[in-house]
Structure 1
Amino acid sequence: MKDEVFYGKGIHELEGEYPDLYELVKDISEVVYDGYALDYKTQKLIAIGITASRADPRATKKQIKSGMKELDITKEEIMDVLKIVLLTSGMPAFSKAVQILNSVIETQ
């Protein structure tokens, strides 16, 4: 995982009190985001789709922001992902994710 950006609220709280557990989470992230068969950009787009399909606004926003910042992911690429979210998860998840995407773009 690039830049140690975690989307669970409690992960960074582990760092001070449970450093071994925090390091384990970091290690898992490195294994997951290894770019072995899929490059990191593709993996990030999948992560955006998953968080958007769960209608998780906090995680969706963080995934979009980090993808655009780290990997120059474009609005059009994210919209391609969100169209799949519309098909698989429905209008509420899609609509919420589009609002988040637009808010991220407006603050850039």
Structure 2
Amino acid sequence: MKGEVYYGKGIRELEDQYPDLYELVTDMNETVWDGKILDYKTQKLIAIGITASRADPRATKKQIKSAIEVLGISKDEIVDVLRVVLLTSGMPAFSKSLQILNSVLETMD
């Protein structure tokens, strides 16, 4: 993700303790989020779908929040992604992700 925003715990510790590994993660991050074929917005929507389908509340919240704040992605666009999550991963993952979306939107109002 642009700007070296990492959601995994421990990544920042790499910067001081293992700079070579931190550089590797940073390079990989820039390679993945390059927007060459799929634009960055589409890539972000895919990331939301993946984290939501895994029912990972922390990652889903962070992906949704940054999608709205950084890219201006709308609630309707995110709900479209969550519809695919419902179809492919079931009601629990969908329901949890929808709750997360609504809580993020509430805190932004």
TM-score bin (small chain): over 0.9
* 1:81 is the counterpart of 2:81: yes
Deviation at 1:10, TM superposition (A): 1.7
CA RMSD of aligned residues (A): 0.7
Q: TM-score, normalising length from structure 1?
A: 0.97
Could you give the per-residue CA deviations for residues 23-66 of structure 1, whole angstroms, max 9, x where no partner exists? 11011010001111100000000000000000000000000011
Deviation at 1:3, TM superposition (A): 2.2
Task: Find the aligned partners of 1:5 and 1:53 in 2 and give their Cα distance.
Answer: 22
Q: TM-score, normalising length from structure 2?
A: 0.96
| Unmatched runs of 5 consecutive residues or more in structure 2 | none
Could you give the per-residue CA deviations for residues 66-93 of structure 1, whole angstroms, max 9, x where no partner exists? 1111100000000000000000000000
Letter of the structure 1 residue corresponding to residue 86 of structure 2:
L
Matched residue, 1:67:
67
Deviating beyond 4 angstroms after TM superposition, the runs of 4 or more aligned structure 1 residues are: none
| Unmatched runs of 5 consecutive residues or more in structure 1 | none
Report the number of matched residues. Answer: 108
